[in-house]
Structure 1
Amino acid sequence: MARNGVAGVLGGFARAVSMSFSPFMALGAAGVVWGGFAAMVPALKAQTGASDAQFGLALLGSASGGMIAMYLAPYLLALFRHHTLPILTLCSALVVQGPRFASEPWHLFPVMIGMGLALASLDICANLRISRIESDTGGHLMNINHANFSFFLAVSAILVGLLRQAGWGTAQVFTLIGCVLLVFALLLRDGHWEDAPEDGEEEDRPRHLPWAAILPVGVMIFVAFVGENSIESWSALFLERELGGATGDGGFGPAMLGFIMCVFRLLGQVTTQRFGEARVVLFSGILGVIGALTLSQAPDRSVALLGIALMAVGMAVIVPTATSLLGKRVHRRALNVAVSRAWMIGFTGFFVGPSLIGSISEAYGLRVAFLMVAATIALIVPAVWLFERGKSVRD
Structure 2
Amino acid sequence: MPVHETTALPPRRAPMVTPARVAVSLLFLANGFLVGSWAPKIPEFAARLELSKSALGMMIFCFGIGSLVAMPLVGAAIARRGSRSVLKLLALMSGASMLMVTFAPGILTAAAGLFAFGALIGGMDVAMNANAVEVERRQGRAIMSSCHGFWSLGGVLGSGLGGLVIAGAGVAVHALAALAAVLVMVAIAWPRVMADPPAPHVPVDGSAAPSMVRAIFGSGATVWLIGLMCLLSMLPEGAVLDWGALYLRQELGASAALSGFGFGAFSATMALVRFVGDIVRDRFGAVATMRGSVLLAMAGMAISGMAGSAEMVIAGYGIAGLGLANMVPIAFSAAGNLPGLPPGVGISLVTFMGYSGILFFPSIIGFIAEHTGFAAIFTAIPVLLLLVLALSGLVSHADSNRPDGEA
Q: TM-score when scaled to structure 1? A: 0.86
Cα displacement (A) at 1:87: 0.8
The worse-fitting range, judged by mean Cα deviation, of 355-364 and 141-150 is: 355-364
1:367 aligns with 2:375: yes
Is the contact made by 1:232 and 1:254 (CA closer than 8 Å) also made in structure 2?
A: yes
CA pair 214-132 structure 1, distance change in 2 beyond 3 A: farther
Indicate the residue corresponding to 1:175 in structure 2.
176
Supply the distance in 2 between the matched residues of 1:93 and 1:389 (Cα, whole angstroms).
36
Cα displacement (A) at 1:193: 2.5
CA pair 18-329 structure 1, distance change in 2 beyond 3 A: farther
C-alpha offsets along residues 141-200 of structure 1, whole Å, 9 cap, x if unaligned? 11100110111110121111111221x22222112212222222212334542427799x
C-alpha offsets along residues 231-284 of structure 1, whole Å, 9 cap, x if unaligned? 111111122221111232211101111111110101212101111223212221
1:322 aligns with 2:338: no
* SS across alignment from 2:191: coil
Aligned residue type for 1:274:
R
C-alpha offsets along residues 111-143 of structure 1, whole Å, 9 cap, x if unaligned? 221111101111111111112333344421111
Alignment map for 1:216-295 (pairs within 5 Å): 216-295=225-304
Supply the distance in 1 between the matched residues of 2:333 and 2:114 (Cα, whole angstroms).
29
How many correspondences in the alignment? 375
Is the contact made by 1:213 and 1:390 (CA closer than 8 Å) also made in structure 2?
A: no
Cα displacement (A) at 1:374: 2.1
Cα displacement (A) at 1:80: 6.0
C-alpha offsets along residues 309-331 of structure 1, whole Å, 9 cap, x if unaligned? 11111111111221112222256
Cα displacement (A) at 1:63: 1.4
Indicate the residue corresponding to 2:95 in structure 1.
93
CA pair 309-17 structure 1, distance change in 2 beyond 3 A: farther
Identity across the alignment (%): 22
Is the contact made by 1:295 and 1:305 (CA closer than 8 Å) also made in structure 2?
A: yes
Indicate the residue corresponding to 1:208 in structure 2.
215
**Greater share of helix:** 1
Is the contact made by 1:82 and 1:193 (CA closer than 8 Å) also made in structure 2?
A: yes
The worse-fitting range, judged by mean Cα deviation, of 336-345 and 117-126 is: 336-345
Indicate the residue corresponding to 2:315 in structure 1.
306
Supply the distance in 1 between the matched residues of 2:118 and 2:365 (Cα, whole angstroms).
18
1:37 aligns with 2:50: no
1:163 aligns with 2:171: no
Is the contact made by 2:331 and 2:398 (CA closer than 8 Å) also made in structure 1?
A: no
Superposition RMSD in Å: 2.9
The worse-fitting range, judged by mean Cα deviation, of 79-88 and 247-256 is: 79-88
Alignment map for 1:179-194 (pairs within 5 Å): 179-186=180-187, 187-190=189-192, 192-194=194-196
Indicate the residue corresponding to 1:127 in structure 2.
129
Indicate the residue corresponding to 1:56 in structure 2.
57
Is the contact made by 1:35 and 1:154 (CA closer than 8 Å) also made in structure 2?
A: yes
Indicate the residue corresponding to 2:343 in structure 1.
335
* SS across alignment from 2:255: coil
Indicate the residue corresponding to 1:7 in structure 2.
none
Supply the distance in 2 between the matched residues of 1:75 and 1:390 (Cα, whole angstroms).
25
Structure 2 residues not aligned, in runs of 5+: 1-12, 202-210, 401-406
Cα displacement (A) at 1:349: 0.8
Structure 1 residues not aligned, in runs of 5+: 1-11, 200-204
Indicate the residue corresponding to 1:202 in structure 2.
none
Is the contact made by 2:60 and 2:114 (CA closer than 8 Å) also made in structure 1?
A: yes
